[in-house]
Amino acid sequence: SLESRLAWLRESFLQGKDEVSALQNQIESVSTSLSAQMEEKDNIRKELDDLTFSLKKLEESAERVSLERDETVRRLVEISGLMTEGAEDHPSSAINLLVDRSFEKIERQIRNSSDSSYGNEEIFESFQSLLYVRDQELSLCKEMLGEEVQVSLQV
């Protein structure tokens, strides 16, 4: 009958309307989730860019500190008069030994000098302190560089 067909048609229409509404809700949910993921991806990319920039700055700083340390060691050795053939190729521990020997020789020269005064000792101690600080800065930069590399690799 016509009434049963109309009732069926009405029921089908309402069911279709409910399904469209459910699909629209799902589309909105997926769209919101996608937007959140894209925002998170952008944030991660920005953080990676920041970390990359920081890593480059640390590398530059470590290189600068290393060059300054090498120059300081070269000058120290030059002042002390020690022979340093091939010292540039030695590991850090050999450089540290060279620095220690240079300081020992400079100390002996100061003690043996007839015009040794408090001022020379003060300069020596200041120089020794500055060299120690530079060495610590280099060690810190190397450590931070290693940490930044690890963080970058994890991202």
Query: pLDDT by residue (tens digit) across 96-111?
Result: 777 777 777 777 777 7
Query: pLDDT by residue (tens digit) across 32-56?
Result: 999 999 999 999 999 999 999 998 9
What is the rounded CA–CA span in Å between residue 92 and residue 74?
14
Q: Which of 153, 141, 147, 154 is nearest to 59 (CA)?
A: 141
CA angle 27–28–30, rounded 5-degree value: 65
Q: In this structure, are residues 152 and 51 in contact, taking their beta carbons and an 8 Å threshold? A: yes
The per-residue pLDDT for 148 is 77
* pTM of the model as a whole: 0.49
Count of domains for the chain: 1
Give the helix/strand (H/E) hosting 67. Answer: helix 2-80
Which domain covers residue 10, as residue numbers? Answer: 2-154
- Judge whether residue 120 has pLDDT over 80: no
Query: pLDDT by residue (tens digit) across 121-152?
Result: 677 777 777 778 778 878 887 788 777 777 77
